[in-house]
Amino acid sequence: MCQKGNIRTKILALVTILLFLLATGKSSYASFTIQDEKKLGKEFYEKLKNKDLLIKNPKVNDYINKIGQNILSHTNKSPFHFTFSVIKSSGINAFATPGGYIYVYEGLIKLVENESQLAGVLSHEMAHVKSRHIAQIIEKSQKLSLATLVAILAGAFLGGGGEGTAAIASFSMATATTLNLKYSREHEEEADRKGMSYLVSTGYDGRAMLNFMRIMRRYEFYSNSIPSYFLTHPGTSDRIRYLDGLLQTTYKKRGAKSIIGGLNRIKTILALNKEDLNSSLKYFQNELREYPNDLNFTHGLAVIQCRMGQTTESLKNFLWALKQSPLDEDILRDLGICYFNTGKTKNAIKSLRKAYSINKNDPDIVLYLGKSYETLNNYSTALDLYKRFLRNNPDNTNIYYNLAMAYGKTGNPGDSHYNFGTYFKKKNKPKSALFHFKAALKYFPPDTDKRNKIKKEINSINQ
C-alpha cells in the first residue's frame, strides 16, 4: 500500500509539473504533426524519469531495449527514434506515447510466460506508434491545449491498478471526458495485424500474441480485477478471435519462443527490487514449484532467504545455483554479499573477487569488495575500490563516509575530513559539514585546487 501511495503522489506531482511547463503550448491541433508528437512524448518521458518512475537497472533496460530494437530492425523505417522503458509498478500494463516511447510495467514482465509474448506486446505498441493512432485521436479534437493533452495522457496510461486516480483528479471530469483516449476497435485491429507481422518477421512465434491475450483473460478471471491493459486496449474477445484468424490463415509457420534469452533472470532482478521480503519469498517459491530446477529463481530465493536470516537454506541454494553456472557474476556477487552480511568476510572476498574479474563496473561488486577489505583492515585496497565506485556513482551519498574512513586509516587526514564534510553536506547536516571542511583546510597548502574547492564548499554552506 505504501508503494502504491508513493506512486500516486509522484504521478500527481508529474501531472502538475507538466501542466505548468506546457500551459503556454498550442491551444488546438488541426494537424498534430510529427514534431508535435516528438515534443509531447519527450516531455512525458523526461518527467517520468525525473520523478523516478522508471526502472534504472541496466540489465533490465538492456534486455527490453534489445528485444525492441531487434523487432524494429525488421520493420519499415519510422520518423521516430524509439525508446523502451520499464515502469516501476506491479500493474499489468503496457502503452506507447507519441514520438516512439514504449513503456512496459514490471508486473506485465513478471506475468508473461516467455520472451515471445513480451515481444508481442512490444510489437503491438510499436504498431500504435507507427500508425500514429494517438495523433489521429488528438486531431479530432479542436479545443484542447497541449497541457491538457499531457494530463489526459498521464491519467489514461498511468492508471494501472488505481495508481492513476490522482492524475485524473488533477483536472475536471468535463475536461477528462472531452477526449476519449481509448483506442478504437479499428486501431486495435490495425495494431494487432501490423504487430503480428513485426513479430513473425523478427523470427518469433506468432502464437505468442494470442497466448498472451488468453493469459490476461485468465488473470482477469482469477484476480477479480480488470488488468489496466484492458482499460486502454479494448475489445479483448474480438482481438482474440482476430489474432486466431490471422494464425489460421496467414501465419501458420511456428517461430522461436526466445531470441535474446534471459527472461527469468530479468524477472528475478525485478522481484529482488521489492522491499516486501515475504511477498518476494512467496514469488520465488511459487515459480520454483512450476520450474523446480530453474537457476534464476533458485538464485533469487537464496538472496531473499539471506536477507531474512535463513542463512543455512540460503547458502545451500546459492551453492547449488553456482554449481550450475560457476562464472555467473550475479550469483557470485550476491553470494559474496550474503557472506559479508553474515560475517564470513574471507568467503565474501573470494566470491566477490571472482565476480570482479568478470565485471569491474558492477557497483555492488565494487562496493562490497571494498567493505570486505576494510573489515579485514586492508584499507589501501578498500580505498582504491571506493574511489572506483565513486567515479561511476558520484551521486551516492554513503560512499563519501566509506572514503573518509579509509583515508583516515591510511594516514590522510585532509582527505578524510574533506570526505566527511561532503558526506554531512549531502546529508543536510551543515554544522557537521562545516566542522570537517574547516578541519581539512589546514592540510592543504594555499592556492591549491583542493584548498580552493574546500573554501567554495564552506562559502556555499555559509550562504
Give the burial class of 221: count Cβ atoms within 10 A of its Cβ; 0-12 exposed, 13-18 middle, 19 or more buried.
Answer: exposed
**pLDDT band with cut points at 50, 70 and 90 for residue 220:** low
Q: Lowest mean pLDDT of 86-90, 122-126, 168-172, 394-398, name the range.
A: 168-172
The sheet with strand 101-105 has its strands ordered as: 83-87, 101-105, 94-97
**pLDDT band with cut points at 50, 70 and 90 for residue 90:** confident
The percentage of the chain sitting over the pLDDT mark of 90, rounded to a whole number, equals 67
Q: Going by DSSP bridges, is the β-strand pair 83-87/101-105 parallel, antiparallel, or unpaired? A: parallel
Q: Do 418 and 436 meet the contact criterion of CB atoms below 8 Å apart?
A: yes
pLDDT in the model for residue 150: 62
Separation between Cα atoms, residue 267 and residue 294, nearest integer Å: 12
Other C-beta atoms closer than 10 Å to the C-beta of 385 total 24
Q: Do 60 and 266 meet the contact criterion of CB atoms below 8 Å apart?
A: yes
**Closest C-alpha to 363, from 395, 407, 324, 315:** 395
Buried b (16+ CB within 10 A) or exposed e, 420-437: bbbbbbeeeeeeebbebb
The letter for the amino acid at 125 is E
Q: Which residue has the higher pLDDT, 179 or 198?
A: 198
Cα torsion 18, 22, 26, 28 to 10°: value is 20
Separation between Cα atoms, residue 195 and residue 120, nearest integer Å: 7
Separation between Cα atoms, residue 77 and residue 82, nearest integer Å: 11
* pTM: predicted TM-score of the whole model, two decimal places: 0.83
Q: Mean pLDDT across the stretch 18-42? A: 64
Other C-beta atoms closer than 10 Å to the C-beta of 124 total 26
pLDDT tens per residue across span 317-374: 999 999 999 999 999 999 999 999 999 999 999 999 999 999 999 999 999 999 999 9
Q: Do 47 and 12 meet the contact criterion of CB atoms below 8 Å apart?
A: no
Separation between Cα atoms, residue 204 and residue 191, nearest integer Å: 17
**pLDDT band with cut points at 50, 70 and 90 for residue 252:** confident
Q: How large is the angle between the packed helices 58-72 and 185-202, nearest 10 degrees?
A: 90
Under DSSP, is residue 184 helix (H, G, I), strand (E, B) or coil?
coil
Buried b (16+ CB within 10 A) or exposed e, 34-72: eebbbbbbbbbbebbeebebebeeeebbebbbebbebbb
pLDDT in the model for residue 104: 95
The letter for the amino acid at 17 is I
The letter for the amino acid at 14 is L
**pLDDT band with cut points at 50, 70 and 90 for residue 383:** very high
**pLDDT band with cut points at 50, 70 and 90 for residue 12:** very low
pLDDT tens per residue across span 111-167: 999 999 999 999 999 999 999 988 887 777 655 555 666 666 666 666 544 443 333
Separation between Cα atoms, residue 59 and residue 62, nearest integer Å: 5
Domain positions in the chain are 2-249, 274-326
pLDDT in the model for residue 181: 60
The letter for the amino acid at 79 is P
Under DSSP, is residue 369 helix (H, G, I), strand (E, B) or coil?
helix
Separation between Cα atoms, residue 162 and residue 228, nearest integer Å: 9
Q: Lowest mean pLDDT of 22-26, 222-226, 373-377, 453-457, name the range.
A: 22-26
Q: Do 422 and 400 meet the contact criterion of CB atoms below 8 Å apart?
A: yes
Separation between Cα atoms, residue 273 and residue 269, nearest integer Å: 6
Contacts of 434 by beta carbon, 8 Å cutoff, 6+ apart: 421, 458, 461, 462
> Is the dihedral angle over the CA atoms 234, 237, 238, 244 positive or is it negative?
positive
pLDDT in the model for residue 44: 86
The percentage of the chain sitting over the pLDDT mark of 70, rounded to a whole number, equals 81
Q: Residue 91 is placed in which grid cell?
A: 500493474
